[in-house]
C-alpha cells in the first residue's frame, strides 16, 4: 500500500466533475476531447497495469453514473484505453514525444470511433460516416497536440531518477 | 463456502458479474437500478451548480472590466459617475428581465392549465461528441418525470426529459436524434410532419422535418408548433421556423430544415410540464 498513489483517482474524479466545463473552455473551433479519457491514459503510463486497470474501471463507473445514458460505456473506453497504453508502454519511453503524438492520435481516433458507435448505434454511424470521421480526426489531432505538453511533463517529472533507472535497464 | 468467499479470484469474478448485471439493467432508462446514480449525481450537481455560477460571475467581471476600460478612454472625469450609472442600469435590467420571465411563466401556467409547471435552472451540459444534453437542478423530488416536455419561458419547445435522478434530471434538446415531435403549421393547422434531430444538422443548431403529409402547406419562414398528436407534447408549443424545403427524389417525399426558436446557447431556465392526471 506504500506505493499507492491516492491523488491519481482524486485528480481524475475532479476532472470528471469539471469535464463539461473543460470541454467548453478548451474547445478549439468547437472541437474538444474527453479529458477524463486522456488523463486516465496519461496516468496509465506511470502506474503498474493492475493499478491502472482498477483506476480506469472505478473512474469509468463514476463517469457513467453522472453522464452516460447507460452504465458501462466509459468503463469500456477507459479500460480499453489503458490496455492500449500497457501494450505501447513496453515499446516506447514515455518521454518520447513523437511516439506519444502518434500513440495518442491513433488511440483517440480508435476510442472515439468506438464511443460514437456505442452512443449513436451502427445505423447513424454509417449514415454520417464522413462527417463523423472528419470530426474525430480533428479530435485526434487535438489529443496529439496535447501530447507534446504531456511528453515534456513526463520528461521533467522523471528527471530525478526514474528515467535514469529505466535507461540503465535498457 | 466461506473459503470460497474469501478467495480473491472469486471475489473479483463476483464483482465483474455483479457489474455486468447492473450494466445490462441500466440500458433501460426506466430501470430502478439507475437509482444508484444518485450516490454520485446528487453531490456532483451541487458542485457543478457552483462552478457554473462562478463561471458566469467571472464572465461578468471580464465583460465589466472591458466596459470599464472603454469608459476611462471616453471620459476620465465621469468615471465614477459612469460606473454608478452602469450598476444602476444593470440592476434595472435584471429587474426588467426577471419581471418578463415571471410574466412569461404566468402565461405558460394559464396556457397549459392541464399541466403542473416545474421551473428549473440549467446547471450544465453533459459532455459528448455527437450528442449533447443538459442537466437541470430539478429531479424526482420536484415531481419531474421521464419523457415530460420541456419548454422555455416564451412557450418554445426545448426538448424532453430523458432521465431523472433525485435532485437533477437530464433533458435532451429538440435537435437531438432521440427527439421526434409531431408538428403542424401555426397558420393553417392542416397537415402534419415529424420534427427530429439529425447528427449533421445538429452541428448547425438545426433539425429535420420529414414524413410531411401532402396536404401540409408550408413555406420557408413559416412557424410550426406541436400538433398534440402523441402522448408526450401538448398542442400549441412553438417548435421552430422553416428554413428551407427540399424534395427527396428517391422517396418522392418532401423534407424541411427547421431552425428552432430556442437558442440552446443562451437558455438558462426551463419549465417542465407535468400532466396533472399522473
Check which CATH number belongs to the domain holding B130 and give it.
2.40.10.340
Return d(Cα B101, Cα B104) in angstroms, integer.
5
Domains and CATH numbers, chain A: 7-169 (1.10.1760)
pLDDT score recorded for residue A108: 95
Question: How far B110 CA lies from chain A's nearest CA (Å)?
Answer: 34
Instruction: Note the pLDDT tens digit of each residue in B204-236.
Output: 889 999 888 887 788 888 889 898 887 788 888
In tens, the pLDDT along B29-56 reads 777 777 888 888 888 888 888 888 887 7
CATH code, domain with B255: 2.40.10.350
Which is it for the CA torsion B190, B193, B194, B195, positive or negative?
A: negative
* Mode of pairing for the β-strands spanning B269-275 and B223-226: unpaired
pLDDT confidence of residue A1: 43
pTM comes to 0.75
B40 shares contact with chain A (CB less than 8 Å): yes
Q: Cell 466509459 maps to which residue?
A: A74
**Structure-block grid coordinates of residue B224:** 410550426
Q: How many domains does chain B have?
A: 2
Q: What is the pLDDT of residue A124?
A: 83
Comparing CB atoms, the residue among A72, A112, A132 nearest residue B23 is A72
CB contact under 8 A, B51 and A17: yes
> Chunked in runs of 10, what are the mean pLDDT values of chain A (170 residues)?
66 86 85 91 88 90 86 90 90 84 95 90 87 93 93 80 58
Domain boundaries, position B82: 42-174+266-275
Residue B16 domain-assigned? no
Residues B233, B160: one domain? no
On the question of pLDDT at B248 being above 80, the answer is no
B127 domain-assigned: yes
**Please, what's the b/e burial string for B84-111 (b: 16 or more CB within 10 A of its CB; e: otherwise)?**
eeeeeeeeeeeeeeeeeeeebeeebeee
B14 located within any domain: no
Q: Are residues B46 and B157 in the same domain?
A: yes
Q: What is the mean pLDDT of the segment spanning B144-173? A: 90
- Any domain includes B215: yes
Q: Considering Cα of A158, then A140, then B26, then B179, what sign does the dihedral take?
A: positive
Shared domain check, B163 and B191: no
Neighbours of B197 (CB within 10 A): 20
Structural domain contains residue B160: yes
ipTM of the complex: 0.70
pLDDT at residue B133 tops 90: no
Count CB atoms within 10 A of the CB of residue B166: 15
Residue of A nearest to B16 (CA): A57
Distance spanning both ends of chain A, measured CA to CA? 28
* In the predicted structure, residue B251 carries a pLDDT above the cut 70: no
pLDDT at B17 over 90: no
Read off the pLDDT of residues B166-182 as tens digits, 9 standing for 90 and up: 888 999 999 988 888 99
Decide if B60 contacts B187 (C-beta within 8 A). Answer: no
Band of pLDDT at residue B5, cut at 50, 70 and 90 = confident
Considering the domain architecture, whether residues B111 and B208 belong to the same structural domain is answered as no
Amino acid at each position: 500500500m506504500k506505493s499507492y498513489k491516492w491523488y491519481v483517482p482524486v485528480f481524475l474524479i475532479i476532472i470528471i466533475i469539471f469535464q463539461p466545463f473543460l470541454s467548453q473552455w478548451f474547445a478549439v473551433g468547437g472541437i474538444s476531447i474527453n479529458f477524463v479519457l486522456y488523463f486516465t491514459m496519461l496516468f496509465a503510463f506511470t502506474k503498474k497495469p493492475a493499478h491502472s486497470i482498477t483506476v480506469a474501471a472505478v473512474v469509468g463507473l463514476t463517469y457513467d453514473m453522472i453522464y452516460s445514458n447507460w452504465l458501462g460505456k466509459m468503463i469500456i473506453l477507459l479500460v480499453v484505453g489503458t490496455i492500449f497504453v500497457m501494450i505501447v508502454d513496453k515499446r516506447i519511453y514515455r518521454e518520447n514525444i513523437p511516439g506519444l503524438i502518434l500513440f495518442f492520435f491513433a488511440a483517440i481516433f480508435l476510442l472515439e470511433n468506438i464511443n460514437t458507435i456505442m452512443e449513436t448505434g451502427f445505423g447513424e454511424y454509417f449514415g454520417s460516416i464522413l462527417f463523423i470521421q472528419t470530426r474525430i480526426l480533428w479530435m485526434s489531432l487535438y489529443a496529439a497536440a496535447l501530447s507534446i505538453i504531456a511528453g515534456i511533463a513526463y520528461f521533467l517529472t522523471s528527471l530525478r531518477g526514474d528515467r535514469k533507472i529505466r535507461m540503465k535497464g535498457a | 463456502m466461506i473459503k470460497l468467499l474469501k478467495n480473491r479470484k472469486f471475489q473479483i469474478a463476483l464483482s465483474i458479474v455483479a457489474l455486468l448485471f447492473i450494466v445490462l439493467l441500466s440500458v433501460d432508462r426506466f430501470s430502478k437500478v439507475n437509482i444508484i446514480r444518485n450516490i454520485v449525481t446528487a453531490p456532483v450537481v451541487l458542485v457543478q451548480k457552483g462552478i457554473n455560477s462562478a463561471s458566469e460571475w467571472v464572465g461578468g467581471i471580464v465583460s465589466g472590466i472591458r466596459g470599464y476600460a472603454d469608459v476611462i478612454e471616453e471620459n476620465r472625469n465621469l468615471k465614477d459617475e459612469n460606473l454608478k450609472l452602469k450598476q444602476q442600469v444593470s440592476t434595472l435590467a435584471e429587474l426588467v428581465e426577471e419581471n418578463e420571465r415571471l410574466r412569461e411563466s404566468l402565461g405558460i401556467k394559464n396556457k397549459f392549465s392541464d399541466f403542473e409547471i416545474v421551473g428549473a435552472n440549467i446547471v450544465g451540459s453533459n459532455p459528448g461528441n455527437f450528442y449533447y444534453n443538459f442537466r437541470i437542478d430539478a429531479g424526482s423530488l420536484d415531481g419531474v418525470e421521464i419523457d415530460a416536455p420541456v419548454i422555455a419561458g416564451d412557450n418554445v419547445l426545448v426538448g424532453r426529459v430523458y432521465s431523472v435522478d433525485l435532485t437533477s434530471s437530464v433533458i435532451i434538446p429538440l435537435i437531438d436524434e432521440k427527439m421526434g415531435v409531431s408538428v403542424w403549421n401555426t397558420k393553417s393547422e392542416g397537415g402534419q410532419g415529424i420534427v427530429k434531430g439529425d447528427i449533421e444538422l445538429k452541428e448547425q443548431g438545426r433539425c429535420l422535418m420529414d414524413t410531411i403529409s401532402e396536404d401540409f402547406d408550408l413555406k420557408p419562414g413559416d412557424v410550426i408548433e406541436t400538433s398534440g398528436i402523441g402522448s408526450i407534447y401538448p398542442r400549441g408549443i412553438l417548435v421552430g421556423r422553416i428554413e428551407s424545403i427540399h424534395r427527396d427524389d428517391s422517396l418522392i417525399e418532401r423534407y424541411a430544415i427547421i431552425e428552432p426558436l430556442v437558442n440552446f446557447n443562451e437558455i438558462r431556465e426551463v419549465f417542465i410540464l407535468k400532466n396533472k392526471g399522473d
